[in-house]
Amino acid sequence: MSKSLQAIRGMNDILPEQTPLWRYFEGTVARLLDNYGYKQIRMPIVEFTELFKRSIGEVTDIVEKEMYTFEDRNGDSLTLRPEGTAACVRAVLEHGITGGGQVQKLWYIGPMFRHERPQKGRYRQFHQIGLEVFNLDGPDIDAELITMTWRLWGELGIRDAVKLELNSLGTSDSRGRYREALVEYLSAHHDKLDEDSQRRLKTNPLRVLDTKNADTQAVLVNAPKMADYLDDESRAHFEGLKARLDAVGIPYVLNPKLVRGLDYYSKTVFEWVTDKLGAQGTVCAGGRYDGLVEQMGGKPTTGVGFAMGIERLVLMLETLEQIPEEISRQVDVYLCAFGEEAELAGLALAERVRDQLPNLRLQVNAGAGSFKSQFKKADKSGALYALILGDDEMAQQVVGFKPLRGQGEQQSIAWDALAAHLATCVVQG
Ligand code: ATP
Ligand code: MG
């Protein structure tokens, strides 16, 4: 196929054999969030470029080199969203739904776009489920967010394979004082830093902390620690969070180098990481961003949120073989009909059964075919039972009911009794 007719590098089709697992994952998260009282919000996937520059920060990897930015026909600079928080904040401000201290607990799902180097677990179009809470400023809500994800890992059967890393970046005051101390220290060791870190030292010094460069890491061993610069309020907040995680029994490790890639975080930051996916180990990340709404022109409004990468979590379910049995089967019953008269009767019968059993996954053979070929299709569909309508069955107004997975002999069921019979032998999802 010519290159121009292929998908763009790093942007993937999610094929029919993969979608059941995606839907199981998305459905599990959606149900959990519903149960905790979060409401879904849907934002456009394109926004004015300025929105991301203002919120994410000019000197972040995303804004410096990862955005899909283009001019539209009006000459406006637009960007495919690289993350969800900016658009969510824009939406709540635009609609005034956080005004007067109104609490909002929101979540969203959808594609995000970043021009990164594609590799396992890292794509240019990827999908996130994100969550944002506005106007709750205590550690209790930070703890709820983390508790919810902890429950999710439990439901998905991957809890043992993830680890919670935690840090506090303090308020912007304490972060400012820490930044000064860090810059002073790093400047004294300027020559030992890698080139990227030398540049970041000028533009975004906290980012030096999460360098992968061994020489720079060696310099960082004796660098000032954020924890020593936390103001009382941030310290109390962090202690409150840890006490709650302890109360629920959620283990965590403190990682003083966890700073997150975006500019807007304050106080709590956290990441759920795994060693099962190679280099792309962070499956869920978030934190508190108390200054962001104001920075974007709103009234002071606290915020906290996280986003999880769906590709990475689906990959984890596959790697750990945590794929529930019921999603591998998509069909309960497959109806085979032989001859036009039987086809007509079969169609009408199928619709009657669907009226009575709306959750039954009933597939009617299409494209006619011999006895052998229809049976082959029935078997391949994964159905538990085949229904058979041939000349004999038509004459007696019955349908042949044949177990396909070795649970007994074929029997004849009267048309009127079919739905009731199916109700007893198929567990409907
Ligand atoms: P990373 O350090 O892996 O680049 P990040 O800090 O840039 O992640 P966030 O912006 O916090 O990521 O996004 C939240 C989550 O979205 C990540 O933890 C990850 O699971 C997922 N994610 C981020 N970028 C990608 C990508 N390019 N491809 C697939 N998933 C991604
Ligand atoms: Mg990144």
- Residue-wise pLDDT tens digits, 122-144: 999 999 999 999 999 999 999 99
Within this chain, domains 19-171+231-319 and 329-424 share the same CATH topology: no
CA nearest neighbour of 424 among 332, 346, 329: 332
* CATH no. of 19-171+231-319: 3.30.930.10
Report pLDDT for 259.
86
Q: What is the pTM of this model?
A: 0.93
From the CA of 114, the nearest ligand is 1
Domain edges within the chain = 19-171+231-319, 329-424
CATH topology of domain 329-424: Rossmann fold (3.40.50)
Banded pLDDT at 276 (limits 50, 70, 90): very high
Report pLDDT for 406.
82
Cα 401 off chain centre by? 41
What tens digit of pLDDT does each residue of 229-251 get? 999 999 999 999 999 999 999 99
Report pLDDT for 261.
65
Residue 62 CA, closest ligand 1 atom number: 7
CA nearest neighbour of 286 among 301, 273, 295: 273
Task: Name all contacts of 202-210 with Cβ < 8 Å and 24+ positions apart.
Answer: 203/59, 204/57, 204/59, 204/60, 204/263, 205/179, 206/169, 206/175, 206/179, 206/182, 206/259, 207/60, 207/259, 207/261, 208/182, 209/182, 209/256, 209/257, 209/259, 210/257, 210/258, 210/259
pLDDT at 428 over 60: no
CB-ligand 1 contact for 126 (6 Å cutoff): yes
SS3 breakdown of the chain: % helix, strand, coil, rounded to 5? 45, 20, 35
From the CA of 262, the nearest ligand is 1
Which of 56, 65, 85, 126 gets mutated to test ligand 1 (max ligand atoms within 8 A of its CB)? 126
Report pLDDT for 426.
86
CB-ligand 1 contact for 66 (6 Å cutoff): no
CB-ligand 1 contact for 54 (6 Å cutoff): no
pLDDT at 115 over 80: yes
What tens digit of pLDDT does each residue of 15-40 get? 999 999 999 999 999 999 999 999 99
Separation of 358 CA from ligand 1 center, angstroms? 39
Q: How far is CA 230 from CA 172, 181, 227, in A?
A: 10, 13, 5
